[in-house]
Amino acid sequence: MNSLGLSKRPQDTRVVVAMSGGVDSSVTAAMLREEGYDVVGITLQLYDHGIALQKKGACCAGQDIYDARQVSDRIGIPHYVLDYEGRFSQDVMEDFADTYLRGETPIPCVRCNQRVKFRDLLNTARDLGADALATGHYVRRFQADGGRAELHRAIDPNRDQSYFLFATTQEQLDFLRFPLGGLTKPETRALAERYALEVAAKPDSQDICFVPNGNYADVVAKLRPGAVEPGDIVHVDGRVLGRHKGVVHYTVGQRKGLGIGGIRGEEEPLYVVRIEPAQRRVVVGPRDALARTAVLVRDLNWLGPDLGPGESLEVEVKLRSAQPLSAATLRLTGPAEARVELHAPQHGVAPGQACVVYDGDRVLGGGWIAGTQA
């Protein structure tokens, strides 16, 4: 049994590594190459290369493709660039725009993992005769008794990316490997220096790769011309407080940038409580109005123990990537639907975000937040 849990010698085991050009995926490739695996690096071109060359600080851009090729040459592995622009545009960018126009808050990185990297790239890896697809994500994979793979949080809580991988299916998880899950970021950078990789000091990408300068509304307006329309900003008590330039500028829980100032005689700050896209309304109110005790989940991807309809399970959930875990009771309400009862009210729960379910460090699954109840 080799270090990837396969019954083959490393030199007889082909591993495709998804190389973004960053330090994490570069170290992943170098580690596996050092162990003697037959490593093939693949970088995905996900959007217009001309624009990419002018965009810094984002993954899969022109400089990143160049960096991935340089690393591959350095460690002596073949490297290929695959044009996935059409798939990425349809499955990630179009979905991003439509989600905002529904008054929801999208997570395009989850869609990219779900519909491009862990579906299309995984199939390409199989076509290349690979035994596994490895990525630089900070998450751990364990082979449980009986051979079923489990997804666990990374050893470093500050780098854990399990929230963004909740949609990974059991079949995909069986084929995937995450060599960095037991490392911290400083340890990864130290390895990059030991391997003499040019990307050792390269900053982490911060932006969504296709959103220049973080201006989501401009991207939505470009993808859906004429769909970004103005409307009213309304208090939960019915008062019209002002006007907005499009619901895409707002997300549930937002406090800053509402464009209405304070209300005379009322010192309590206002937050976006809900978005009503059909009426082109943004509803605001005090923080108490954000409190929610139940979350409705759709498109549930379940990796945990078998549950029948109506069965419940005591779990912890994460409702935004930067939020701590919250105790909850999950009950299946349909084949891929669930109701999550929160043991303590949570604020700023936004439809379109993910509800990811945990048992300790193990990821039991997750789905998209379809609605909430006070």
C-alpha angle with apex 208: 204 to 212, nearest 5 degrees? 105
pLDDT for the residue 55: 53
pLDDT for the residue 183: 98
Q: Which of 59, 60, 112, 355 is catalytic?
A: 112
CATH ID of 229-289, from 2.30.30.280, 2.40.50.100, 3.30.1440.10, 1.10.540.10:
2.30.30.280
Evaluate whether 47 touches 209 at the Cβ level (below 8 Å): yes
Evaluate whether 92 touches 115 at the Cβ level (below 8 Å): yes
Evaluate whether 161 touches 139 at the Cβ level (below 8 Å): yes
In the chain, CATH 2.40.30.10 covers: 291-373
Q: Which fold has domain 10-214?
A: Rossmann fold (3.40.50)
Evaluate whether 310 touches 300 at the Cβ level (below 8 Å): no
Distance CA 96, CA 166 (A): 18
Query: How would you list the strands of the sheet with 14-18, edge to edge?
Result: 79-83, 38-45, 14-18, 132-134, 176-177
Distance CA 100, CA 188 (A): 35
Cβ atoms within 10 A of the Cβ of 278, count?
A: 8
Half-sphere exposure at residue 271, Cβ-oriented, CA atoms within 13 angstroms: 15
Amino acid identity at 173 = L
pLDDT for the residue 48: 62
pLDDT for the residue 207: 73
Amino acid identity at 278 = A
- Sign (positive/negative) of CA torsion 57, 59, 62, 67? positive
In the chain, CATH 2.30.30.280 covers: 229-289
Please name the residue ranges forming H helices in the chain.
23-34, 49-52, 62-75, 85-88, 94-101, 108-112, 122-127, 170-175, 185-194, 216-223
Q: Specify the pTM.
A: 0.92
Tokens representing 193 are 């220096």
Q: Which of 59, 60, 209, 355 is catalytic?
A: 209
- Per the DSSP assignment, residues forming a β-bridge with 254 are none
* DSSP secondary structure, 18-31, as one string: E--SSHHHHHHHHH
Question: What's domain 291-373's superfamily in CATH?
Answer: Translation factors (2.40.30.10)
- Main-chain dihedrals φ then ψ at residue 253, nearest 5 degrees: 95, -10
Phi-psi region at 158: left, alpha or beta (left = phi > 0; alpha = psi -120 to 50): alpha
Q: Which helix (H) or strand (E) holds 67?
A: helix 62-75
CA 46, distance to chain mean position in Å, is: 16
Terminal alpha carbon distance of the chain: 51
pLDDT for the residue 60: 55
pLDDT for the residue 52: 43
Q: What is the DSSP letter of 263?
A: B
112 catalytic residue (yes or no): yes
209 catalytic residue (yes or no): yes
Q: Identify the burial level of 267 via C-beta atoms within 10 angstroms of its C-beta, where 0-12 means exposed, 13-18 middle and 19 or more buried.
A: exposed
pLDDT tens digits in sequence order for the chain, 374 residues long: 999 999 999 999 999 999 999 999 999 999 999 999 999 999 998 876 445 444 555 555 578 899 999 999 999 999 999 999 889 999 999 999 999 999 999 999 999 999 999 999 999 999 999 999 999 999 999 987 767 899 999 999 999 999 999 999 999 999 999 999 999 999 999 999 999 999 999 998 777 888 867 788 888 988 998 888 999 999 999 999 999 999 999 999 999 989 886 666 677 899 999 999 999 999 999 999 999 999 999 999 999 999 888 889 999 999 999 899 999 999 999 989 999 999 999 999 999 999 999 999 999 999 999 999 98
